[in-house]
Chains A and B, each alone.
Chain A
Amino acid sequence: MTTIAIDLPRNYATEENTIVSWLFTKDHKRIALLFFASITFFFFIGGFAATMIRLHLATPGGLLQPSVYNRMFTVHGVMMVWFFLIPSIPNTFGNFFLPMMIGAHDLAFPRVNLLSWYVFNLSGLVLLYALVMGGIDTGWTFYPPYSTQYASGYVFAAALAVFINGFSSIMTSLNFVVTTHRLRAPGMTWLRLPLFVWAMYSVSIVMLTATPVLAMDMFLLCVERFIGVGMFDPSRGGDPILWQHMFWFYSHPAVYIMILPAMGVVSELISCYARRPIFGYLGMVMALMAIAIISFFVWAHHMFVAGISIYSAVVFSLLSFFVAVPSAIKVFNWTVSLHKGSIVFDAPMLYALGFVLLFTIGGLTGLIVATLAVDVHVHDTYFVIAHFHYIMVGGTVSAFFGGLHYWWPKMTGRFYPESWARFAATLTFVGFNLTFFPQFILGYLGMPRRYYTYVPAWESWNLLSSAGASILAVAYALPLFYLGWSLLYGRRAGPNPWGATGLEWTTPSPPPTHNWELTPTVKLGPYSYNPEDGSYITQDGVKHAYV
């Protein structure tokens, strides 16, 4: 321990390094790491459930009791959506780097930030309680009247967990919005913000606007389930479809809560590893905001067969197509940013390129399911499952790992082993496609989601999917080992190992407690890379040669 303390400059992690100092820290960087620990834990619980699902579905005969299978896919959904994907990038990288990228010493409300972590863990504990006591089998969507009247199990506790979880989302996103408005360093104008900051800003707006609606929805569900009133019970005048409207008013934007941060990460990665300015910066900003806004006007595309009127279905189908426009702008701009770049195929870039490809497939199949007539056929089939996993897993999780590798030297002061990382990135891509592409075919053939068995004719596709899942599991577990190894034995990293332009790279690695002695002054926008010789200008105006 003493050697480490001597080697590394005093930084946020080593300064006053006691358990109490970590648990009561107000430093945004430490809180980011605390969130890292929490979401990794929940990721592996959700991942365990996913493993059980794929093991079970490898053969039509199955492995689990039907009631256990139902509990597995519910746990998988609830854990992955609210306890991993939604907080994944904002609460970790956002927490760590948003203040550094805008030249601030911390977030606006550090105590609220810490409280957010405690509330998040509290909600996780409530959910774990529900699981240990016997689980829930409603699916992550909690549709009444099943969830309120018929479901056995701990629906109340699980819904309460989601309700509490929302407070954490709101606290963190409120902090981000206010920090971006008020704590930018001198010279950091709105149009000089890195796209990652814009992504955090837009996603925070979506979280702030959508989460309270889900909160009220869950609250009323809890009231109905706990007290036994008929809020959504048709036999007593309630309307179960109303619940679905409110649920999707949150949960469609929730998809963008998961993908917008990933878009921000990928924009940073692509420009850095192609040594090129991002193409169409303003268009990228507009696209982020457009996606955030349009996301609120498409929710009923989840309810085409739930008995809504045909006219409203047509309108929501059309509105859903509009999302494709800003999404396509982003994909085109990333692609053009690569053109004539001098591309470095390091692990973060591999993850980023994987993201673009998988996001494109997920986005294009989104158009298919948004088409009213086609959706009647593929609704609630594995086609939909494959579609949203391409976005959330192929997209968001790839970007999460890309960002993790890219910022690893900054967070820890150490390099990760490059060849292992490239291997894991490639394996992720291969395993992911093997797992989920067969599900497009299965869905198109008509295999419904959430059924615990299927006809024998679909066995080979299911087996292929399960085999792919085992590769994916290895690819996700690998970084745990080599990143853990690099914490102790990795090569020391300098302040700016990749030659990137953001302000976060102008501090030592790892950064000191309050990031800067003096607030930096910003001289120019992000992404001043020169593809000819790789040279770059950091946002504080200093020109560097590429090493």
Chain B
Amino acid sequence: MPMSSRTISPEIQYADLSQQGDTAQLGMWVFITTETLFFGTLIFTYYIYRILYSHEFDVAARDAVLWCGSANIGILITSSLTMVLAINAAADGRRRAMIWWLIATAALGMCFLGIKGYEYNLDYNDKVVPVANFEMKPGEAPAGELFWVFYWVGTGLHAIHLTIGVGLVLYMLLWRIRRGEITPDYYAPLEVVGLYWSFVDTVWLFLFPSIYLVGRS
């Protein structure tokens, strides 16, 4: 890895790098707004059905694998911490620390995906995959299938977002940082990725209780 960082000049439309970094962050915030509405619509729809069929959903939700969801929320919150520590290290110019914290972040993200994949496997064996492999258990009602539709759509979309997040962290590590484009003077790209990461984390913060906890007492 080249240790010296190259000089970075702003793109033509920016007066200086700080304006460029500022603008990139605003762009990510606006994007997060749209993503919030995207997932928000799903969660809103979910709760409409959840209220409409509260008993059926409660019964169906008991088949969700609680330990997987709980382990994963711990993993994701930790990964947000390591992400922030990486950005702090970038701001202070502690290059090695930044790299290690980023590796930890990506590893935790992949850990989440691994557990999620294992959980999907358990779900498949439990016959809760609508259409493909679904069996109504004693005491369950047809509307319970809707719970599982939301489960797969919600966790599936979240997993896609997280995969993109891991990809972005790896892109930072293997491309931007290797080429010396992240410096204490200009680390906005890393901050933008961090914002995205925390957003994906936050989505799970809403999905987890909605899927695994509501009505489980």
Q: Which residues of A contact B (CB under 8 A)?
A: 99, 104-110, 112, 170, 174, 177-178, 181-183, 208-209, 211-213, 215-217, 219-220, 223, 227-231, 236-239, 242, 246, 514, 519
Contacts and interface: CB of A to CB of B under 8 A. Distances in A.
* Nearest 8 CB-CB pairings of A with B: A237-B143, A212-B38, A212-B37, A216-B41, A106-B13, A182-B23, A105-B13, A212-B34
Nearest to A224: B149
12 contacts: A104-B13, A106-B11, A108-B27, A178-B27, A219-B153, A227-B132, A229-B145, A230-B145, A231-B149, A236-B142, A236-B143, A237-B143
Contacts of A99: 13
A212 B27 contact: no
Contacts of B145: 229-230, 236-237
Contact of A174 (B13, B31, B146): B31
Given A108-B13, A170-B34, A242 B41 contact: no
B19 A216 contact: no
Contacts of A211: 34
Contacts of A106: 11-13
Contacts of A104: 13
B19 A237 contact: no
A238 B38 CA distance: 20
Interface centre among B31, B35, B40, B132 (most CB of A within 10 A): B31
Contacts of A231: 146, 149
A267 B39 CA distance: 37
Contacts of B22: 182
B164 interface: no
A107 B13 contact: yes
A223 B27 CA distance: 30
B207 to A, nearest CB: 14
A104 B48 CA distance: 46
A253 to B, nearest CB: 12
Contacts of A209: 33-34, 37
Nearest to B14: A183
Interface centre among A109, A174, A216, A219 (most CB of B within 10 A): A216
A229 B23 contact: no
Interface class of chain A by DSSP:
helix
Interface in B1-36: 11-15, 19, 22-23, 26-27, 30-31, 33-36
A376 B153 CA distance: 37
Nearest to A215: B38
Nearest to B147: A237
A212 B48 contact: no
A435 B15 CA distance: 52
Interface class of chain B by DSSP:
helix
A237 B142 contact: yes
Nearest to B38: A212
A223 B149 contact: yes
B49 interface: yes
Interface string B127-171: 000111000000000110110010001000000000000000000
Contact of A181 (B13, B26, B42): B26
A85 to B, nearest CB: 21
B34 A183 contact: no
A242 B31 contact: no
B127 to A, nearest CB: 15
Contact of A177 (B13, B14, B30, B143): B30
A174 B131 contact: no
Interface in B85-129: none
Contact of A110 (B13, B33, B53): B13
Interface centre among B19, B142, B149 (most CB of A within 10 A): B149
Nearest to A105: B13
A215 B39 CA distance: 10
A150 to B, nearest CB: 18
Given A183-B13, A208-B33, A174 B27 contact: yes
Given A106-B13, A229-B130, A246 B34 contact: no
Contacts of B142: 230, 236-237
A182 B26 contact: yes
A242 B49 CA distance: 10
Contacts of B70: none
A174 B37 contact: no
Given A106-B13, A227-B130, A242 B45 contact: yes
A228 B26 CA distance: 40
Given A174-B31, A209-B37, A229-B149, A108 B143 contact: no
A350 B147 CA distance: 57
A237 B39 CA distance: 22
A109 B27 contact: yes
Contacts of B130: 227, 229
Interface centre among A104, A177, A208, A212 (most CB of B within 10 A): A212
B12 A178 contact: no
Given A208-B34, A230-B145, A237 B53 contact: yes
A184 to B, nearest CB: 11
A220 B23 contact: no
B41 A174 contact: no
A174 B33 CA distance: 10
A445 to B, nearest CB: 39
A228 B149 CA distance: 11
